A and B are shown apart, each in its own frame.
Chain A
Amino acid sequence: MLSEIVVTVNGVPVTVPSGATVTTAVLLAGKACRTSVSGDPRGPLCGMGICFECRVAINGKAHCRSCQTLCEQGMEVRTDE
């Protein structure tokens, strides 16, 4: 098993340790996870799949809970959709 994984967040490569969630990749990229209905940046709150604040698009699939998704090599994450 690889000890490091490279994913892209909004097209920019981010290296995370193996076992890291997509939330970690987004935070390491210095991004908010989503923009609220009134335009404010939001990051993760509950860390356990309840609050949906961490949702992002993963490999083209919108509204994935990033805190419950583990990073995989080459994964494409977008916070700007």
Chain B
Amino acid sequence: MNREVRQRFDVLVVGGGPAGLVAAVRAAEAGAHVGIVDDNASLGGQIWRGEAKHEETAAQWISRLRTAGATTLCGLRVFHQPEAGVLLAETNENVHVLSYAKVVLATGARERFLPFPGWTLPNVTGVGGLQALVKSGLPIHGKRVVIAGTGPLLLAVAAYLREHGAEIPIICEQASWTSLARFGVTMFGQPSKIAQGFRLTRQLATVTFAPNSWPVAVHGKAAVEAVMISRQGRTETIPCDYLACGFHLVPNIELALLLGCQIQRGYVRVDDFQRTTVREVLCAGEPTGIGGIELALAEGQIAGLVASGQMNAAKKLFGQRSGARHFARTLDRAFRLRSELRRLPSPDTIVCRCEDTHYSRLSQHTSWRSAKLHTRCGMGPCQGRVCGPASEFLFEWNPDSVRPPIFPVRVESLAALSSEPELECGEVSGGHT
């Protein structure tokens, strides 16, 4: 148990979603020795989760990856950089010591969650979260699911759940009609989005889509029984089995921070060639700006080409990337969070789910750091990945730096951290785990 596995790559890709997958392919096709690491059981990331075999684009890239001969390492969680050019990752059994000449960070994004009374009840999940659970075998047929929050994911997941037999009484989108109309116009300006739009419209023809609407409170004893929503200024209560709620996406930048990459306005700063401010470290996809799959595919390929020294081939993709970036900026504007959402938590609403820290305790502080030190908010196993972005929005606090390990690891894996003598056990174990 807990064997140490050592591997060396010309190009190491962290993240097996679209950006990472295509980066690995482009580098491996040039003859580089490539490794691709992902913490899930298979490649594809969140968007292609469980569908990599059926989705045509995904299947093509995965087959190219196999032909090119890259090493796939699934079920590995990267948690530390003991020295430049080396990353540590753990599986349920082993610790991997991964050395690289170049690394491409394609760590994707997670949903932003905002606290409101009752949001910690079982069966309140993320929007992408519920889709992931259904893709992982959760039966949803005949269940009543209220979908709420903001962003394009709401419609996509509603269509998916409906296809799997769920009843969707309403989709609550916090953005206004005006804001959405602007987004709609731009979205339909892109050919691949038009097809997507038509498909969604057909699947969701009978579902109520309510802009200017958001969840106010969840009622239930052991799990969700109903959700109270604010709809165009009026409240109503809707009985349901699940509330799937997410407020767009936040980038996973923890690993980039750990490696010392500069962050600009919340995203990893990269140049035209997807190079970060740290030598040998490139970044692609959502961590450089939330932009969806088209942008991820363009950025990932550029990163893979650059990491394997093909600068001219990379330049040819700049045009494709700039089109996708324009779409990303539109998303940001259309789904900007409205200030009313800051007033959703009541004093006893839990903000930090790991430590059960209430809103009233946090609101006494003036910074994230002060709140962490005095309330243990953000100090639990998720290390602030949920309450950090929430607090950033609620209190307009700036995020803190990260410390290794960036995920809680098993005590056995801590041996591999011995080059960090200043770390105490209580800190490195990352809270309760």
Contact = CB atoms under 8 A, between A and B. Distances in A.
Given A52-B354, A55-B381, A43 B123 contact: yes
Contact of A21 (B136, B353, B356): B136
Nearest to B385: A50
Nearest to B352: A37
Interface string B93-121: 00000000000000000110100000010
Contact of B110 (A21, A32, A46): A46
Which of A32, A51, A61, A62 counts the most chain B CB atoms within 10 A?
Answer: A51
B381 A48 contact: no
B309 interface: no
Interface in B380-397: 380-382, 385-386
Given A47-B130, A51-B382, A52-B382, A24 B137 contact: yes
B215 interface: no
A37 B138 contact: no
A47 B433 contact: no
Given A47-B129, A68-B40, A42 B385 contact: no
A60 interface: no
Contacts of B432: 37, 63
A23 B125 CA distance: 13
Contact of A52 (B124, B133, B381): B381
Interface in B127-144: 128-133, 136-139
B243 to A, nearest CB: 11
Nearest to B133: A47
A67 B136 contact: yes
B381 A42 contact: no
A75 to B, nearest CB: 12
Contacts of B129: 44-48
Chain A residues touching B, range: 35 or more
A49 interface: yes
A64 interface: yes
A41 interface: yes
A76 interface: no
Given A47-B129, A51-B385, A55-B433, A61 B136 contact: no
Contacts of A23: 133, 136, 138
B375 interface: no
A43 B75 CA distance: 22
Contact of A45 (B41, B252, B386): B386
B39 interface: yes
B41 A46 contact: no
Contacts of A17: 137
B46 interface: yes
Contact of B353 (A24, A41, A51, A63): A51
A20 B126 contact: no
A44 to B, nearest CB: 6
B223 interface: yes
A50 B110 contact: yes
Interface of B: 39-41, 46, 50, 75, 77, 92, 110-111, 113, 120, 122-126, 128-133, 136-139, 222-223, 252, 353-356, 380-382, 385-386, 408, 432-433
